[in-house]
A and B are shown apart, each in its own frame.
Chain A
Amino acid sequence: MTTQTINETLDARNLNCPLPILRTKKALNAMNSGELLQIQATDPGSVNDLSAFCAQTGNELISSEEGANEFIFIIRKTGS
């Protein structure tokens, strides 16, 4: 877990592919470069998808964790 402040949070629970990615993209669009976005999701596919999304868009996946019945991701907006 990072000790830095989370700037925005996104609740993508109970959403299935490709909605968590689309909502993430939308949330990042509204943020400034360098800010952190925390995402909660329940779709197991989002683990691979968010990592692929970050690799392709140049955003930084800071952490990807499995919590109780959900996944928690933190992304730093670095890309466009």
Chain B
Amino acid sequence: MNAIAEQIQDLSQMDNWFDQRFEEKMAERKANHTPSMTIISTKGTLDMAYPPFILASTAAALGWDVEIFFTFYGLSLLKKELDLEISPLGNPAMPMKMPMGPEWLRKTNINIPNVVMAGVPGFEKVATGLMKKTMANKGIATIDELRSMCIEAEVKLVACQMTVDLFETSRDDYIPEISDWIGAASFLPKAQQADVSLFI
């Protein structure tokens, strides 16, 4: 009987020992872990250029490892010459406000019919110009600035090879800081290992 009782006590001691070691190991692992994030950037308009670069540069500042995979229209965010525009058409949530003029005008939401947005030549250029002015007024970084900060912070920029072929552009049109030209099969294993993975 005594032998069995001893064995039971040994087991419960071992359980306690394991629980304690497990806690310690988990805490050690957490402390040594560098968080990581992968982002898939698929849109090439000015408004959709902000989220990937803002999140990536901020995550890098927090000490995370970050990689952005630029594919389809997202690839245009890596062009040497950035010429991004907003697309007000079919974007019902987008306010149209004047960045200049008296206070009441700046605060007024100007409703513009879709037919005007679609039919007036140069409407997107004007809307883009107004948006850029508003952003400058509010001290919001330009995409060029955020992209440079990402590069400086060693955010890994990878581009989709298929997209270059699809749009018949050349690799020379894109910034030299692109670290790799890859496909879905190369990106997915990285996304699998990441703590955060976003599709934008």
Chain A interface residues toward B at CB < 8 A:
14-19, 21-22, 24-25, 42-43, 53, 56-57, 79-80
Tell me, in angstroms, the Cα distance from A21 to B141 when the chains sit together: 12
Q: Is B139 a contact of A19 with CB atoms below 8 Å?
A: yes
Q: What residues of chain B lie closer than 8 Å to A24, measured between beta carbons?
A: 61
Q: Is B138 a contact of A17 with CB atoms below 8 Å?
A: no
Name 15 extra pairs, CB < 8 A, besides A15-B139, A18-B54, A19-B139. A16-B139, A16-B140, A16-B141, A17-B54, A18-B57, A18-B58, A19-B141, A21-B61, A22-B58, A22-B149, A24-B61, A53-B61, A56-B63, A57-B63, A80-B63
Q: What residues of chain A lie closer than 8 Å to B57, measured between beta carbons?
A: 18, 22
Chain B interface residues toward A at CB < 8 A:
54, 57-58, 61-63, 138-141, 149, 153
Tell me, in angstroms, the Cα distance from A53 to B61 when the chains sit together: 8
A15 to chain B, nearest CB (A): 5
Q: Is A14 a contact of B61 with CB atoms below 8 Å?
A: no
A54 to chain B, nearest CB (A): 10
Task: Select B58's contact among A14, A16, A21, A42, beta carbons within 8 Å.
Answer: A21
Task: Show 21 residue pairs from A and B whose CB-CB distance is below 8 angstroms, ordered by the A residue.
Answer: A14-B139, A15-B139, A16-B140, A16-B141, A18-B54, A18-B57, A18-B58, A18-B61, A19-B139, A19-B141, A22-B149, A24-B61, A25-B61, A42-B139, A43-B139, A53-B61, A53-B62, A56-B62, A57-B61, A57-B63, A79-B63
Tell me, in angstroms, the Cα distance from A46 to B31 when the chains sit together: 26
A22 to chain B, nearest CB (A): 5
Q: What residues of chain A lie closer than 8 Å to B58, measured between beta carbons?
A: 18, 21-22
CB closest residue in chain B, given A25: B61
